[in-house]
Amino acid sequence: MPQQTIPAIDFNFFVLGDLGDMFDNNEIFINKNYQRGDIWKLSQKIELIKSINQRYSIGVLVLFVNDEGKYEILDGQQRLLTIIKYLKETLPLSDTDITPCAELSRRDKKLQDAYCVFYLKLKSHDPESKEEDMVQTFLRLQEGTPLNKAEKLNAYRGVFKDTFKETRETHPLFNYLGTERRFRFRQLAAELLLLELDGNFDNKTFPSLDSETMIEAVKKYEKRISRQKLTFYKGNLDYMERSLNMFLGAFKFRDIISFYLLISYLRKKRAGNENLQNEYAVFARLFMQKLNMFSMYQDKPPKGMTKEEFETYKKYKQESKIMTTSDSLRNRLEIMLSEFARLNPMIIADRQRLHDVGQKRILFFRQQGICPECTKPLTFKTASAHHVIPHSAGGRTDDLDHAQLVHDKCHKIIEERLKKQSKIKMLHKKATVRCT
């Protein structure tokens, strides 16, 4: 069994008077990738400065030293930020009895500058594991503080982290979502990315979006992400931004996830035409309008909504409450696919007796993207519609109850089989006539 590696630990102190210059020279720095911002209330900051003035201890900081000898804050960020604000006179003191730094007497200034800020300095033995040591130390230190999922994700590094961070910062979709709190938009970008990377859209099976699964994804894709899937992921975001833009501001995060699954499925299956972007936009407005017509706790449908619609949208609301489970994601997508097919009106078939795009789409969703002949997944663009009851027997193109969508090659096999069956019937009929 290999020996456990333990970071080197050194106990030391800074004097308060040096901290301002150390921050200015970047000798002590905050890693904004996973640290929270300035979240202390003013009352907490005032109490800290009072403690320093009264020569009380403010606790021990925990710092990680990098290869350049600079200190990265692992624990104590709020205390250090408060001290720096006081030293630079950006801390509001007008309603307090604290003397501003610039107004201290020479004696008091010397006493304050000499105040010792104690710290533990950690340094990893192994260069290969130093990032992991730092992340794990940070997470352990924060166990008493409720970090949310987004903050935990931001404590890690690698390609997956870089990708969702870059996407959140550069993609225009996130500009419509309002004010970000505690890395929540980064978390959303990470969740959508994981759905694209690990989701099976043929079978509608998706990874859970809980903290444990997300952190495993960060580790799994630390070195590499499929370029093809990454391109498709960003293409889906482009579709959503162009189709929905300002409307995105009215979406809850769980709805953004659902609509991402929908557009990714539609694009993968080519279940649409050149007008897909407009159809998607119209559907989103209709769907959200119906969704907001009632509360999940209502027992009866609101005015203007059928009982069937009410039950469908209520089920969606119930599934959305669960939000992160694989079953919830699949169920929400299936509801949306069913509604997408229903709300996009069917066009009357042309005189050539061919099913149009709208009719084919209905068949596609009804069959859940599976060819009934070979039971393999269909690609919408190349699929062929088959009249189960032929026109010669009274079948109608607009009668979708007697139609199915199959692979083009399967359609040819079916046609050949029907010809053989017809030929056998004719021979049998002739034989019967001769016997009589």
Of 95, 120, 147, the domain-final residue: 147
Residue-wise pLDDT tens digits, 229-267 = 999 999 999 999 999 988 888 888 899 999 999 999 988
Q: Is 184 helix (H, G, I), strand (E, B) or coil?
A: helix
Are residues 124 and 58 located together in one domain of the fold? Answer: yes
User: Does the residue 357 lie in any domain?
Assistant: no
Are residues 182 and 323 located together in one domain of the fold? Answer: yes
Sheet holding 8-15, edge to edge: 8-15, 116-123, 61-65, 71-75, 28-29
Are residues 318 and 197 located together in one domain of the fold? Answer: yes
Q: Given a cut of 50, is residue 88 above it in pLDDT?
A: yes
CA angle in degrees (0–180, nearest 5) for 212-130-80: 85
How far does CA 363 lie from the centroid of its chain?
30
Q: Given a cut of 70, is residue 205 above it in pLDDT?
A: yes
Q: Given a cut of 50, is residue 127 above it in pLDDT?
A: no
Residue 216, C-beta contacts closer than 8 angstroms, at least 6 positions apart? none
Lowest-confidence range among 76-80, 243-247, 271-275, 417-421?
Answer: 271-275
Are residues 170 and 141 located together in one domain of the fold? Answer: no
User: Does the residue 175 lie in any domain?
Assistant: yes
What was the pLDDT predicted at 155? 62
Q: Give 143's pLDDT tier (boundaries 50, 70, 90).
A: very low
Q: Is 30 helix (H, G, I), strand (E, B) or coil?
A: coil
Q: Is the pTM of this model over 0.85?
A: no
Over residues 153-181, mean pLDDT: 84
Over residues 103-125, mean pLDDT: 82
Are residues 226 and 135 located together in one domain of the fold? Answer: no
Over residues 97-123, mean pLDDT: 86
Domain count across the chain: 3
Are residues 226 and 313 located together in one domain of the fold? Answer: yes
Are residues 252 and 170 located together in one domain of the fold? Answer: yes
Q: Given a cut of 60, is residue 146 above it in pLDDT?
A: no
What was the pLDDT predicted at 261? 96
pLDDT averaged over the chain?
Answer: 80
Of 309, 343, 377, the domain-final residue: 343
Q: Given a cut of 70, is residue 5 above it in pLDDT?
A: no
Of 343, 359, 382, the domain-final residue: 343
Q: Which two tokens stand for residue 182?
A: 């505690």
Most confident of 61-75, 139-153, 379-393: 61-75
Are residues 92 and 237 located together in one domain of the fold? Answer: no
What was the pLDDT predicted at 391? 44
Q: Give 182's pLDDT tier (boundaries 50, 70, 90).
A: low
Lowest-confidence range among 62-71, 297-306, 312-321, 373-382?
Answer: 62-71
User: Does the residue 353 lie in any domain?
Assistant: no
Domain that holds residue 261: 159-343
> CA-CA distance, 162 to 145, in Å (whole number)?
25
Are residues 288 and 377 located together in one domain of the fold? Answer: no
What was the pLDDT predicted at 226? 93
Q: Contact, 120 vs 62, CB < 8 A?
A: yes
What was the pLDDT predicted at 153? 64
> CA-CA distance, 405 to 362, in Å (whole number)?
9
Are residues 39 and 187 located together in one domain of the fold? Answer: no
